[in-house]
Amino acid sequence: MLQEKFINYIKFEKRYSQHTVIAYQTDLAQFQIYLQAKYNIGGIENSDYSIIRSWMVSLMEAAVTPRTIRRKITVLNSFFKFIIKEGVISENPMAKVIVPKASKRLPVFVEQNKMDLLLDEIDFGTGFNSYRDRIIIELLYYTGMRLSELVNLKEKDIDIYNNSIKVLGKRNKERIIPFGGVLKASLNNYIIEKEKVVSGEIGNFFLISENGKKIYQKLVYRLVKHYISMVSTMDKKSPHVLRHSFATHLLNNGAELNAIKEILGHSNLSATQIYTHNSIEKLKTIYKQAHPKA
């Protein structure tokens, strides 16, 4: 089946993340259902421009956001490009498709003074869970790593002596993230407590639960939401918000955009440039507050 072959292609050759693969499968399955129900067509490869356009209209009528529609169209376009390479069709029906413009969504971040309050004033407590909870928050905020990268950190990835962490990012791309003295101290505290939990034996995964098992993503979400709630009333409280906070605070404090790009593991600069919008918004706020004629 062509869809299955395509999914294997993005999974094993393109090395897309599991989350992305699932999203591609879902979008293709949704379009397949539409084809069957509306046109009695069995295979996506048999659709044309007018059918794809009608699907887009149906999504708009269902109040699906332009951003989501753009993603679904991107998935379809990737599929058609794949089957052209496979010699199944000769022309891409997506060539004439005009996708709706998506409004730019600024990254949500925690203000720097509130992150200072969280890390300097909030009492995380004592004992293994407390040290682990703190190191989870600090790793996300001090390194900007993704949630999937965090939970999959191995013991061997942490280089305490050289103040660096090796991270396996999207499409299995490795990068090195430096860290400072504050995080180093917290890492040492956590390692000492962890050795007590695992009876002196260093486990494979760096972050574990009390029973020695690898932490899971829902636990991290729950912890991040709990601690951000202690200093902020913002609606969105996720691990990715701490990644956004890391990048925004670096930029606001003079870091070069290219350096932030490398630390975040972005494949191109355009993905990093969105943080400049937050800096511009900050400048606008300062201008309005300070200029007598603003």
Q: Please give the Cα distance from 12 to 75 (Å, whole number).
A: 17
Q: Where in the chain is the domain with CATH 1.10.443.10?
A: 112-289
Question: What confidence score (pLDDT) does residue 227 get?
Answer: 97
Q: Give the pLDDT score at 66.
A: 86
Q: How far is CA 132 from CA 11, 176, 185, in A?
A: 32, 22, 13
Q: What kind of architecture, by CATH, is found in domain 2-96?
A: Orthogonal Bundle (1.10)
pLDDT of residue 200: 47
Instruction: Give the residue from 213, 210, 217, 81 showing the smallest Cα distance to 140.
Output: 217
Q: Where in the chain is the domain with CATH 1.10.150?
A: 2-96
> Where is average pLDDT lowest: 124-138, 148-162, 174-188, 190-204?
190-204
Whether 102 shows a pLDDT value over 80: the answer reads no
pLDDT for 99 equals 78
Active site residues: 146, 170, 240, 243, 266, 275
The residue count of the chain comes to 294
What is the CATH code of the structural domain delimited by 112-289?
1.10.443.10
Average pLDDT over residues 228-257: 92
Residue 283's pLDDT is what? 58
User: Angle at Cα 272 formed by Cα 269 and Cα 277, nearest 5°?
Assistant: 120
Amino acid at 230: M
In this predicted model, what pLDDT tens digit does every residue of 244-288 receive, in sequence order?
A: 999 999 988 888 889 999 999 988 887 787 777 666 556 566 566
290: pLDDT confidence band, cut at 50, 70 and 90? Answer: low
pLDDT band of residue 33 (cuts 50, 70, 90) is: very high
d(CA 141, CA 260): 13
Q: What is the pLDDT of residues 164-197, one digit of tens each?
A: 999 998 888 899 999 999 999 999 999 999 988 8
